Amino acid sequence: MIDFLQLTVAGLSQGSVYALLAVGLIATYTVRHVVNIAQGDYATLAGLGSISLVTAGLPLPVAILIALISVTLASVLIERLVIARVKNLTTLVSIILTLGVSTLLQAIMLLIWGAEAKRLPAFPGSDLTLGGVSIRSQELWMLGALVVVGGGVLLFYEKTRWGKALRASAEQPVAARIVGISPAVASVIAFAIAGFVGATAGVVSSPIYLSIWSGGLLLGLKGFVAAVLGGLVSFRAAIVGALLLGIIESYVAGYVASGWKDAVAFFILIIVLIIRPAGLVLRPNAVRV
Protein backbone atom coordinates (compact mmCIF):
# COMPACT_ATOMS: atom_id res chain seq x y z
CA MET A 1 0.00 0.00 0.00
CA ILE A 2 2.83 2.37 0.86
CA ASP A 3 4.49 1.53 -2.44
CA PHE A 4 1.24 2.20 -4.25
CA LEU A 5 0.89 5.61 -2.61
CA GLN A 6 4.55 6.37 -3.26
CA LEU A 7 4.09 5.64 -6.95
CA THR A 8 0.97 7.81 -6.93
CA VAL A 9 2.91 10.75 -5.46
CA ALA A 10 5.62 10.38 -8.11
CA GLY A 11 2.95 10.17 -10.80
CA LEU A 12 1.12 13.26 -9.55
CA SER A 13 4.26 15.38 -9.53
CA GLN A 14 5.26 14.22 -12.99
CA GLY A 15 1.67 14.74 -14.11
CA SER A 16 1.65 18.31 -12.83
CA VAL A 17 4.38 19.17 -15.35
CA TYR A 18 2.38 17.57 -18.17
CA ALA A 19 -0.68 19.45 -16.96
CA LEU A 20 0.98 22.86 -17.13
CA LEU A 21 2.20 22.14 -20.65
CA ALA A 22 -1.26 20.92 -21.63
CA VAL A 23 -2.74 24.18 -20.35
CA GLY A 24 -0.30 26.10 -22.55
CA LEU A 25 -1.16 23.99 -25.57
CA ILE A 26 -4.87 24.49 -25.08
CA ALA A 27 -4.41 28.24 -24.57
CA THR A 28 -2.99 28.64 -28.05
CA TYR A 29 -5.23 26.03 -29.64
CA THR A 30 -8.51 27.55 -28.46
CA VAL A 31 -7.55 31.01 -29.72
CA ARG A 32 -5.52 30.34 -32.87
CA HIS A 33 -6.00 26.61 -33.59
CA VAL A 34 -2.24 26.35 -33.25
CA VAL A 35 -0.71 23.12 -31.97
CA ASN A 36 2.51 24.49 -30.57
CA ILE A 37 5.24 21.84 -30.77
CA ALA A 38 7.66 24.29 -29.08
CA GLN A 39 5.55 24.31 -25.88
CA GLY A 40 7.92 21.89 -24.12
CA ASP A 41 10.95 23.93 -25.17
CA TYR A 42 9.57 26.89 -23.20
CA ALA A 43 10.03 24.72 -20.13
CA THR A 44 13.66 23.81 -20.85
CA LEU A 45 14.44 27.39 -21.89
CA ALA A 46 13.14 28.74 -18.58
CA GLY A 47 14.93 26.01 -16.63
CA LEU A 48 18.30 26.60 -18.28
CA GLY A 49 17.89 30.38 -18.18
CA SER A 50 17.16 30.46 -14.47
CA ILE A 51 20.11 28.10 -13.81
CA SER A 52 22.45 30.56 -15.55
CA LEU A 53 21.03 33.47 -13.59
CA VAL A 54 21.46 31.62 -10.29
CA THR A 55 25.03 30.69 -11.28
CA ALA A 56 25.63 34.37 -12.04
CA GLY A 57 24.77 35.11 -8.42
CA LEU A 58 21.14 36.20 -8.52
CA PRO A 59 18.84 35.00 -5.72
CA LEU A 60 16.62 32.09 -6.75
CA PRO A 61 13.27 33.97 -6.76
CA VAL A 62 14.71 36.82 -8.85
CA ALA A 63 16.27 34.38 -11.30
CA ILE A 64 12.99 32.52 -11.66
CA LEU A 65 11.00 35.72 -12.14
CA ILE A 66 13.36 36.96 -14.87
CA ALA A 67 13.24 33.55 -16.58
CA LEU A 68 9.42 33.46 -16.48
CA ILE A 69 9.14 36.96 -17.95
CA SER A 70 11.78 36.34 -20.61
CA VAL A 71 10.20 33.12 -21.83
CA THR A 72 6.75 34.75 -21.85
CA LEU A 73 8.19 37.52 -24.03
CA ALA A 74 9.95 34.96 -26.22
CA SER A 75 6.64 33.20 -26.80
CA VAL A 76 5.00 36.50 -27.77
CA LEU A 77 7.92 37.22 -30.07
CA ILE A 78 7.48 33.84 -31.74
CA GLU A 79 3.79 34.66 -32.25
CA ARG A 80 4.60 38.06 -33.79
CA LEU A 81 7.52 36.93 -35.95
CA VAL A 82 6.30 33.54 -37.08
CA ILE A 83 2.67 32.70 -36.39
CA ALA A 84 1.16 36.11 -37.15
CA ARG A 85 2.96 36.29 -40.51
CA VAL A 86 1.07 33.34 -41.97
CA LYS A 87 -2.08 34.33 -43.85
CA ASN A 88 -4.00 31.07 -43.96
CA LEU A 89 -2.87 29.39 -40.82
CA THR A 90 -4.20 25.85 -40.54
CA THR A 91 -3.45 23.52 -37.67
CA LEU A 92 -1.22 21.42 -39.90
CA VAL A 93 0.80 24.48 -40.98
CA SER A 94 1.11 25.51 -37.33
CA ILE A 95 2.55 22.11 -36.42
CA ILE A 96 5.17 22.35 -39.14
CA LEU A 97 6.00 25.97 -38.27
CA THR A 98 6.34 25.36 -34.55
CA LEU A 99 8.36 22.19 -35.17
CA GLY A 100 10.79 24.49 -36.97
CA VAL A 101 10.71 26.92 -34.05
CA SER A 102 11.31 24.05 -31.63
CA THR A 103 14.32 22.82 -33.61
CA LEU A 104 15.72 26.35 -33.69
CA LEU A 105 15.21 26.85 -29.95
CA GLN A 106 16.91 23.53 -29.21
CA ALA A 107 19.89 24.42 -31.40
CA ILE A 108 20.24 27.78 -29.64
CA MET A 109 20.01 26.12 -26.21
CA LEU A 110 22.64 23.55 -27.21
CA LEU A 111 24.98 26.34 -28.34
CA ILE A 112 24.49 28.45 -25.22
CA TRP A 113 24.21 25.86 -22.46
CA GLY A 114 26.03 22.88 -23.95
CA ALA A 115 24.94 19.27 -24.13
CA GLU A 116 25.00 18.35 -20.46
CA ALA A 117 21.96 18.34 -18.18
CA LYS A 118 21.88 21.03 -15.48
CA ARG A 119 20.01 21.43 -12.22
CA LEU A 120 18.31 24.41 -10.62
CA PRO A 121 18.72 24.52 -6.81
CA ALA A 122 15.71 23.12 -4.97
CA PHE A 123 13.11 25.61 -3.76
CA PRO A 124 13.00 26.25 0.00
CA GLY A 125 11.23 23.68 2.15
CA SER A 126 11.97 20.35 3.75
CA ASP A 127 10.99 16.89 2.59
CA LEU A 128 8.39 15.11 4.66
CA THR A 129 7.22 11.58 5.25
CA LEU A 130 3.51 10.89 5.67
CA GLY A 131 2.64 7.39 6.85
CA GLY A 132 5.74 5.95 5.22
CA VAL A 133 5.22 7.84 1.97
CA SER A 134 8.11 10.19 1.26
CA ILE A 135 7.24 13.50 -0.36
CA ARG A 136 9.87 15.92 -1.58
CA SER A 137 9.16 19.58 -0.91
CA GLN A 138 9.86 20.26 -4.58
CA GLU A 139 6.99 17.94 -5.50
CA LEU A 140 4.68 20.11 -3.41
CA TRP A 141 6.01 23.17 -5.24
CA MET A 142 5.20 21.47 -8.55
CA LEU A 143 1.65 20.60 -7.52
CA GLY A 144 1.27 24.07 -6.00
CA ALA A 145 2.41 25.67 -9.26
CA LEU A 146 -0.23 23.68 -11.10
CA VAL A 147 -2.95 24.77 -8.70
CA VAL A 148 -1.97 28.45 -8.78
CA VAL A 149 -0.86 28.94 -12.38
CA GLY A 150 -2.98 26.27 -14.08
CA GLY A 151 -6.00 27.16 -11.96
CA GLY A 152 -5.39 30.85 -12.61
CA VAL A 153 -5.42 30.37 -16.37
CA LEU A 154 -8.57 28.27 -16.09
CA LEU A 155 -10.36 30.96 -14.09
CA PHE A 156 -9.11 33.67 -16.45
CA TYR A 157 -10.57 31.90 -19.48
CA GLU A 158 -13.83 30.93 -17.85
CA LYS A 159 -14.64 33.79 -15.50
CA THR A 160 -13.10 37.01 -16.76
CA ARG A 161 -14.35 39.16 -19.63
CA TRP A 162 -10.94 39.05 -21.25
CA GLY A 163 -10.89 35.29 -21.13
CA LYS A 164 -14.37 35.06 -22.58
CA ALA A 165 -13.33 37.49 -25.29
CA LEU A 166 -10.41 35.25 -26.16
CA ARG A 167 -12.69 32.27 -26.55
CA ALA A 168 -15.17 34.32 -28.53
CA SER A 169 -12.54 35.39 -31.02
CA ALA A 170 -11.76 31.73 -31.61
CA GLU A 171 -15.34 30.58 -31.96
CA GLN A 172 -16.70 33.49 -33.96
CA PRO A 173 -13.78 35.53 -35.30
CA VAL A 174 -15.91 37.83 -37.44
CA ALA A 175 -18.50 38.48 -34.76
CA ALA A 176 -15.76 39.01 -32.21
CA ARG A 177 -14.16 41.63 -34.39
CA ILE A 178 -17.48 43.39 -34.84
CA VAL A 179 -17.88 43.74 -31.09
CA GLY A 180 -14.35 45.07 -30.80
CA ILE A 181 -12.12 42.12 -29.92
CA SER A 182 -8.88 42.27 -31.87
CA PRO A 183 -7.78 38.81 -33.07
CA ALA A 184 -4.15 39.95 -33.02
CA VAL A 185 -4.33 40.97 -29.36
CA ALA A 186 -6.15 37.74 -28.52
CA SER A 187 -3.40 35.74 -30.18
CA VAL A 188 -0.64 37.63 -28.36
CA ILE A 189 -2.36 37.05 -25.01
CA ALA A 190 -2.76 33.34 -25.74
CA PHE A 191 0.93 32.97 -26.58
CA ALA A 192 1.92 34.96 -23.52
CA ILE A 193 -0.10 32.54 -21.39
CA ALA A 194 1.46 29.56 -23.17
CA GLY A 195 4.94 30.94 -22.59
CA PHE A 196 4.26 31.66 -18.94
CA VAL A 197 2.80 28.26 -18.03
CA GLY A 198 5.50 26.44 -20.04
CA ALA A 199 8.20 28.42 -18.24
CA THR A 200 6.55 27.69 -14.89
CA ALA A 201 6.65 23.97 -15.62
CA GLY A 202 10.32 24.27 -16.51
CA VAL A 203 11.49 26.07 -13.38
CA VAL A 204 9.51 24.03 -10.85
CA SER A 205 10.59 20.70 -12.34
CA SER A 206 14.27 21.51 -12.96
CA PRO A 207 15.40 20.81 -9.36
CA ILE A 208 14.34 17.16 -9.59
CA TYR A 209 14.12 16.34 -13.30
CA LEU A 210 17.06 18.56 -14.43
CA SER A 211 17.06 20.71 -17.55
CA ILE A 212 18.62 19.61 -20.81
CA TRP A 213 18.44 21.30 -24.23
CA SER A 214 16.77 18.33 -25.91
CA GLY A 215 14.22 17.58 -23.19
CA GLY A 216 11.38 19.77 -24.45
CA LEU A 217 10.02 17.69 -27.29
CA LEU A 218 9.09 14.63 -25.25
CA LEU A 219 7.67 16.79 -22.45
CA GLY A 220 5.63 18.75 -24.98
CA LEU A 221 4.31 15.58 -26.57
CA LYS A 222 3.22 14.24 -23.18
CA GLY A 223 1.46 17.56 -22.58
CA PHE A 224 -0.14 17.18 -26.00
CA VAL A 225 -1.46 13.73 -25.12
CA ALA A 226 -3.04 15.25 -22.00
CA ALA A 227 -4.47 18.09 -24.08
CA VAL A 228 -5.99 15.58 -26.48
CA LEU A 229 -7.66 13.91 -23.51
CA GLY A 230 -9.32 17.27 -23.03
CA GLY A 231 -10.30 17.39 -26.69
CA LEU A 232 -7.78 20.25 -27.06
CA VAL A 233 -10.37 22.63 -25.60
CA SER A 234 -11.11 21.68 -22.00
CA PHE A 235 -8.57 22.88 -19.44
CA ARG A 236 -10.21 20.83 -16.69
CA ALA A 237 -10.20 17.57 -18.62
CA ALA A 238 -6.65 18.16 -19.78
CA ILE A 239 -5.40 18.78 -16.24
CA VAL A 240 -7.15 15.68 -14.94
CA GLY A 241 -5.89 13.76 -17.97
CA ALA A 242 -2.32 14.92 -17.39
CA LEU A 243 -2.37 13.87 -13.73
CA LEU A 244 -3.85 10.50 -14.73
CA LEU A 245 -1.19 10.09 -17.38
CA GLY A 246 1.56 10.77 -14.84
CA ILE A 247 0.07 8.30 -12.39
CA ILE A 248 -0.45 5.57 -14.99
CA GLU A 249 3.12 6.02 -16.20
CA SER A 250 4.32 5.64 -12.64
CA TYR A 251 2.26 2.46 -12.04
CA VAL A 252 3.44 0.95 -15.30
CA ALA A 253 7.06 1.68 -14.35
CA GLY A 254 6.53 0.21 -10.89
CA TYR A 255 4.37 -2.81 -11.59
CA VAL A 256 5.14 -3.72 -15.20
CA ALA A 257 8.56 -2.52 -16.37
CA SER A 258 10.20 0.88 -16.33
CA GLY A 259 11.05 0.57 -20.01
CA TRP A 260 7.35 0.81 -20.89
CA LYS A 261 6.91 4.14 -19.14
CA ASP A 262 7.31 6.43 -22.13
CA ALA A 263 5.22 4.19 -24.36
CA VAL A 264 2.14 4.59 -22.15
CA ALA A 265 1.36 8.13 -23.27
CA PHE A 266 1.39 7.30 -26.93
CA PHE A 267 -0.59 4.12 -26.44
CA ILE A 268 -3.24 6.22 -24.68
CA LEU A 269 -3.07 8.80 -27.48
CA ILE A 270 -3.80 6.19 -30.13
CA ILE A 271 -6.66 4.67 -28.16
CA VAL A 272 -8.27 8.05 -27.49
CA LEU A 273 -7.94 9.20 -31.09
CA ILE A 274 -9.62 6.00 -32.29
CA ILE A 275 -12.37 5.70 -29.70
CA ARG A 276 -13.06 9.25 -28.52
CA PRO A 277 -11.40 11.72 -30.86
CA ALA A 278 -13.30 14.58 -29.20
CA GLY A 279 -11.63 13.94 -25.85
CA LEU A 280 -12.91 12.56 -22.60
CA VAL A 281 -15.54 15.12 -21.69
CA LEU A 282 -17.28 16.35 -24.80
CA ARG A 283 -20.05 14.35 -26.32
CA PRO A 284 -18.67 12.96 -29.56
CA ASN A 285 -21.13 15.02 -31.60
CA ALA A 286 -20.51 18.26 -29.74
CA VAL A 287 -19.20 21.17 -31.74
CA ARG A 288 -15.45 21.59 -31.38
CA VAL A 289 -14.08 25.08 -31.26
Say how many residues make up the chain: 289
Tell whether residue 116 is a contact of other proteins (CB under 8 A). Answer: yes
How far is 252 from 261, CA to CA, in rounded Å? Answer: 6
Q: For other proteins, which stretch binds (CB under 8 A), given 52-60, 93-101, 155-163, 257-265?
A: 257-265
Long-range (24+ apart) CB contacts under 8 A made by 120-123 are 120/47, 120/50, 120/51, 120/54, 120/60, 120/203, 120/206, 120/207, 120/211, 121/54, 121/60, 121/207, 122/207, 122/208, 123/60, 123/204, 123/207
Helices and strands counted in the chain (H then E): 12, 2
State which residue, 79 or 249, has the beta carbon closest to other proteins: 249
How many residues at the interface with other proteins, by CB under 8 A? 32
**To the nearest whole angstrom, how small is the minimum distance from the Cβ of residue 7 to other proteins?**
6
| Shortest CB 188 distance to other proteins, Å | 33
Round to whole Å and give the CA distance between 78 and 198.
14
User: Roughly how many angstroms between the first and final C-alpha of the chain, as a whole number?
Assistant: 42
The DSSP symbol for 241 reads H
- Alpha-carbon distance of 234 to 22, in angstroms, equals 10
Tell me which stretch binds other proteins (CB under 8 A): 25-33, 66-74, 230-238, 255-263.
Answer: 255-263
What is the contact mask toward other proteins in residues 9 to 38, using x (rule: CB under 8 A)?
A: xx---x------------------------
By CB under 8 A, which span of 6-14, 165-173, 180-188, 225-233 interacts with other proteins?
A: 6-14
Which one of 18, 141, 191, 209 is in contact with other proteins (CB under 8 A)? 209
The site map against other proteins for 168-207 (x = CB under 8 A) is ----------------------------------------
> What sign results for the dihedral spanned by CA atoms 120, 123, 125, 127?
negative
Site for other proteins contains 98 (CB under 8 A) = no
User: Interface residues for other proteins in 122-141 (CB under 8 A)?
Assistant: 122, 127, 129, 134, 136
- Contact positions vs other proteins (CB under 8 A): 3, 6-7, 9-10, 14, 110, 114-119, 122, 127, 129, 134, 136, 208-210, 212-214, 250, 253-254, 257-259, 261-262
